[in-house]
Amino acid sequence: MENISKQVISLEEKRVVGYVLKPLIDYKSLARVGYIIVDEESEQEYFLKNENIVNISDNLLIDSISNLEYMPESDELRKHIISDTGEDLGTISSFMFVNRKLRKIITDKCEIDSKYVREIGRDILLISLKRKKRSFPRFEKEDIKVEIMESEISVPPVINLSPNYYIGKVAVKTLLGFNNELIIREGEKVSKAILDKAKKHNKINQLFFIIK
């Protein structure tokens, strides 16, 4: 996803105020309205509007920390995609934009052009397959790593365990998130901060399979 994990730097305070966690989508206009920013120290999430971004290059620049707005936890990446014919198209994993407009929605099963979006609910995004009487290209298992995200990915069953199960266990291999951001190193013990980061990068299932 574009700009994920880039540092956010305040020009007024002259310091790093966090990093880009994910874009925030206005499903009515199918456009990116800004980004959700995470403060690494407090792990607090904030909303940064497009109009408050000064520049985006290797880093994302803002005028001041005051440009960041408090943002409760967002759930747009958790929406499930269902077609109007009842076909299960997966859960949203990332987005693709062109000039801030949402071009494609990427799930753990396929890519969907935004023009096929029909209705948006709290948990479900409904896609119309009747518009052009077509289905969406499915990823082969060997293509998922390349097409969905840069870091290693698998599609295990959903794991729902208490956080206490993970804390203190040791990773037998290194786990990376979006844009190869480090979540945990081989041999490192799982802490609450590491567990929270794995959840934010949708990597909790992968974490389950690499700890002992």
* pLDDT tens string 164-207: 778 888 988 888 888 778 899 888 998 988 888 888 888 887 88
Cβ(46)–Cβ(70) below 8 Å: yes
Q: Looking at the domain assignment, is residue 43 inside a domain?
A: yes
- Does residue 71 register a pLDDT over 80? no
Per-state percent for the chain, helix, strand, coil, to nearest 5 = 20, 40, 40
pTM beyond cutoff 0.75: no
Which of 57, 84, 51 minimizes the C-alpha distance to 69?
A: 51
Q: Looking at the domain assignment, is residue 154 inside a domain?
A: no
Q: Looking at the domain assignment, is residue 156 inside a domain?
A: no
User: How many structural domains is the chain composed of?
Assistant: 3
Cβ(36)–Cβ(46) below 8 Å: yes
User: How confident is the prediction for the chain on average, in pLDDT?
Assistant: 76
Q: What is the mean pLDDT of residues 65-88?
A: 73
The owner of tokens 């082969």 is: 140
- Identify the band that residue 149 occupies on the pLDDT scale cut at 50, 70 and 90: very low
Q: Containing domain of residue 125, as a range? A: 76-148
Residues in the chain: 212
- Does residue 12 register a pLDDT over 60? yes
Q: Looking at the domain assignment, is residue 103 inside a domain?
A: yes
Alpha helices in the chain (DSSP H): 144-148, 163-166, 192-200, 204-208
